Structures are given as structure tokens and as C-alpha cells.
């Protein structure tokens, strides 16, 4: 018989341990300590999530700006509405004040018109008397040694109660006559020659205006009174 070569279809087995046999010491399983993973630092996190943080910051900034714009727009609209209301109130007050002033001016104009009519009515007899006095002078009752222009001026100043300052402008020829016949009369100081005046004219400048007491003016006034009022004698009575 040929001997069997170990390794060919042969399984080596450890012989069972007898009573006095010894077992090979078994190696115990090695205990492995668990590896503790190191926590990432804040800097590592920042580096890792840098883009995410940048995007978040950009989004937060955009949201903040949008909210600020909205709040500013609301505040501006509120202030504009309040300012507009204030302007409307001021405009209403101004309109009311202007309307009140307009009514006052209308009333004042009405009163002035009434007063003017009353003054004209009260002055009508004086105009008639002055005109009649001129006619009387023309009919030959003029005082000798006196100038007709001087008498017209004195009559007008007296009738209308004209107040100073007074200045009587007459023609140069009439002024020469006054100088010759009124040298001692203090009334002469009121007269001044006017190159534009015609003989017989008499323009009196007084404290509140101007009065035309010229001969032509008095004759025209007398003619108008006699033509428009049949009771003209009442207007000129008392001369």
C-alpha cells in the first residue's frame, strides 16, 4: 500500500484533549476604544458655510431695505396727506378772509357812493350861488378896483370851505392885473401865474384835491342847473 500524502483529501484535526492533555491558550478578543470625532470649530463652520452665510446676509439686507422702503413710503404718504389737509384748511381760512374783505369793500364802496351823492346834492346850491355871483359880476355889479378872477377864487374858497394849503393858478394876464390892483391884499400870495391857463380860468389846488372855479366852468354849471332843474331859483337863492 502506498502511504497517503497529507494535504490531499485529508483534514487535520486537533486531537481531543485527554485527561492530562493541555489546551492551547486562546487569545482573547482585543478591546478597541471608540474613536471620538473632533467637533468642528467656529472658523471651520464659517469657512464651510461662507457662501450660505453670504447669501443669507444678502437676503436679510434686501428684506430689511424693502421693509424700510415700505415704511418710509407709508410715513411719507401719511405726512403728505396731513400736510395737504393743513393746506386745505389754510386755503379755506384765506378764502373766508378774502370774501369777508371783499364784502367789506363792497359795503365801503356803497357807503362812499352814497356819501358822494349826498355831497354833490349839498354842493349844488353852492355851485348855483357861485355861478350866479359870476353872472352878477358880469352884469356890471362887480366891485370897482377888483379883479373878477380874484372874486371868483375868494367866492369859491368861501363857499366850499377849502382848506390849506391853497394855491390858485391863473393866466399870466390876470395875474398882472392882480398885481396892479391888489398890492396890499394878502390874498395875492395865493395866486400863481400858469403859462397853460387861459384868461378867466381859475384852478384852485387845496388840501384835499383841486377845484376849477374858472369863468367858463361857472357859466357851464349855471347853464346845466337852469336846464335840468326848473326850480333853479331855489338852488341859487340867498346870494
Listed residue (136, 172, 153, 135) closest to 211, CA to CA: 153
What is the Cα–Cα distance from 200 to 217, expressed in whole angstroms?
Answer: 10
Mean pLDDT of 76-99: 91
pLDDT higher than threshold 90 for residue 168: yes
Of these ranges, 14-18, 84-88, 180-184, the one predicted with the greatest mean pLDDT is 84-88
Q: How far apart are the first and last CA of the chain?
A: 201
DSSP 111: H
Q: Decide: 147 and 177 in contact? Cβ < 8 Å.
A: yes
Determine phi and psi for 203, rounding to 5 degrees.
-110, 120
140, three cell numbers: 356890471
Q: Quick one: CATH architecture of 129-235?
A: 2-Layer Sandwich (3.30)
Q: What is the mean predicted confidence (pLDDT) over 122-133?
A: 65
Q: How far apart are CA 101 and CA 224, in angstroms?
A: 39
What would the DSSP string read from start to end of 71-102? HHHHHHHHHHHHHHHHHHHHHHHHHHHHHHHH
Question: Tell me, what's the pLDDT at 11?
Answer: 52
Looking at the predicted structure, is the pLDDT value of residue 72 above 60?
yes
Amino acid at each position: 500500500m502506498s502511504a497517503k500524502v497529507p494535504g490531499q483529501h485529508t483534514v487535520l484535526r486537533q486531537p481531543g484533549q485527554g485527561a492530562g492533555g493541555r489546551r492551547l491558550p486562546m487569545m482573547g478578543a482585543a478591546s478597541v476604544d471608540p474613536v471620538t470625532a473632533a467637533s468642528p470649530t467656529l472658523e471651520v463652520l464659517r469657512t464651510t458655510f461662507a457662501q450660505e452665510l453670504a447669501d443669507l446676509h444678502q437676503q436679510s439686507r434686501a428684506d430689511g431695505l424693502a421693509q424700510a422702503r415700505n415704511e418710509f413710503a407709508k410715513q411719507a404718504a401719511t405726512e403728505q396727506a396731513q400736510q395737504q389737509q393743513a393746506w386745505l384748511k389754510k386755503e379755506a381760512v384765506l378764502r373766508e378772509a378774502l370774501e369777508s374783505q371783499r364784502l367789506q369793500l363792497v359795503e365801503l364802496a356803497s357807503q362812499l357812493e352814497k356819501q358822494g351823492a349826498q355831497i354833490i346834492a349839498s354842493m349844488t346850491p353852492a355851485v348855483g350861488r357861485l355861478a350866479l355871483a359870476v353872472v352878477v359880476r358880469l352884469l356890471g355889479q362887480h366891485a370897482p378896483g377888483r379883479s373878477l378872477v380874484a372874486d371868483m377864487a375868494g367866492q369859491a374858497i368861501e363857499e366850499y370851505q377849502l382848506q390849506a394849503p391853497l394855491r390858485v393858478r391863473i393866466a399870466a394876464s390876470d395875474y398882472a392885473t392882480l398885481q396892479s390892483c391888489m398890492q396890499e391884499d394878502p390874498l395875492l400870495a395865493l395866486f400863481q401865474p400858469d403859462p397853460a391857463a387861459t384868461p378867466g380860468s381859475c384852478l384852485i389846488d387845496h388840501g384835499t384835491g383841486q377845484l376849477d372855479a374858472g369863468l367858463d366852468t361857472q357859466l357851464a354849471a349855471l347853464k346845466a342847473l337852469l336846464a335840468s332843474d326848473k326850480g333853479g331859483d331855489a338852488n341859487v337863492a340867498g346870494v
